[in-house]
Amino acid sequence: MDQTTVACPDRIELAARLAKIARDGALLVGPALRAAFRSAMEVDHKVDLHDPVTIHDRATEAALRSYLMKATPDAVIIGEEDGASGETGAKGQVNWFVDPIDGTSNFAVGLAFWCVSIGAVIDGEIIAGAVYDPMSDQMFWADAQGAWCNNQRLAAKSVSDEARAVLITGYPVARDFRLDGRDIALERFGRLVEAFGTLRRPGSAALTLCHVAAGWTDAAAGFGVNAWDVTAAILILRRAGGVYHPLRLGRVPDDAPDYACPGYHAYGAQAAYPTLEAVCTEIDTQRSPPK
């Protein structure tokens, strides 16, 4: 089912309740994260130097797990740091996808572009989500009836052509050099730089997608995201009228839900960005095995 599908009355009520739970959970951990930001902290690395983790990631996820399990005892929580709390896939089961700090690299060095992301999925459909930016105190959230930033309804509106548009992308990073080839990846990046009016690389897929939903940036693309990064933000963007195209990149089957796909490109209404479409298609095709 598409995430923009209008739900039945019972599902509308459930989505509203889960959206409030997500918002309250994000607000619960906000004060501790604000206090920790720009303080002295030790940084570990999970895979390589591009994948940092701090004690605050782990403590925040633990706090959110405790809160969500009390609020929804039968749910399963899938978090970035500790994986799934139980078996997923039961019919009617709430699956919470939690990223305690999306943008840990920014958080660790004192750059204020990071967020808490909490999304609720039932039977493969995203039905509620919240993305909280503690430093600006902006709560992006969505349920079955729309998307908001705090109490202001969101409308994803992008300029119509690339030459005047702002694109946010992290491509390429070292992983992309390994997968695509350094020269090819840099050539693709160069085409994006030339085509778009402005290109930025601030990090945090969840917060970037919310900025697209708010109309503060025109487009975004990523090629190494996880479900906890984007689940809530996909719903927020789509409820705001934006477009989210998942990219499977040869890593998930064709019937995988959008939030499980490792890549995406996204933009607001009225956008027509052929260079972005072409680059994303090339990357997706190169990384996908021939059928």
Whether residue 122 sits in one domain with residue 22: yes
pLDDT at 3: 46
Specify if 212 maps to a domain.
Answer: yes
Q: Is 54 helix (H, G, I), strand (E, B) or coil?
A: strand
Spatial distance between the Cα atoms of 77 and 62, rounded to a whole number of angstroms: 11
Spatial distance between the Cα atoms of 99 and 232, rounded to a whole number of angstroms: 10
**CB-based contact 22:118 (threshold 8 Å):** yes
Look up the CATH number of the domain holding residue 226.
Answer: 3.40.190.80
Look up the CATH number of the domain holding residue 28.
Answer: 3.30.540.10
The two structure tokens encoding residue 56: 């605050």
Whether residue 173 sits in one domain with residue 128: no
Specify if 4 maps to a domain.
Answer: no
Spatial distance between the Cα atoms of 209 and 158, rounded to a whole number of angstroms: 13
pLDDT at 81: 74
Q: How far is CA 167 from CA 8, 49, 160, 170, in A?
A: 36, 25, 13, 10
Residue 197 has pLDDT above 50, yes or no: yes
Residue 49 has pLDDT above 50, yes or no: no
| Confidence class for position 95, pLDDT limits 50, 70, 90 | very high
Residue 48 has pLDDT above 70, yes or no: no
Spatial distance between the Cα atoms of 196 and 271, rounded to a whole number of angstroms: 12
Specify if 2 maps to a domain.
Answer: no
Q: Which of 118, 153, 188 is the last residue of a domain?
A: 153
Specify if 3 maps to a domain.
Answer: no
- Domain range holding 110? 9-153
Specify if 122 maps to a domain.
Answer: yes
Per-residue pLDDT tens digits for 209-235: 999 999 999 999 999 999 999 999 999
**CB-based contact 177:185 (threshold 8 Å):** yes
Q: Is 270 helix (H, G, I), strand (E, B) or coil?
A: coil
pTM score, whole prediction: 0.93
- Domains of the chain: total: 2
The two structure tokens encoding residue 185: 């990846």
pLDDT at 89: 77
Residue 43 has pLDDT above 90, yes or no: no
Cis check for the bond before 246: say yes or no (omega within 30 of 0): no
Considering only the C-alpha atoms of the chain, give the largest distance between any 2 of them, rounded to a whole number of Å: 53
Whether residue 114 sits in one domain with residue 34: yes
Q: Which of 119, 153, 187 is the last residue of a domain?
A: 153
- Report which of residues 290 and 123 the model is more confident about: 123
Q: If you average pLDDT over residues 33-54, what whole number do you get?
A: 69
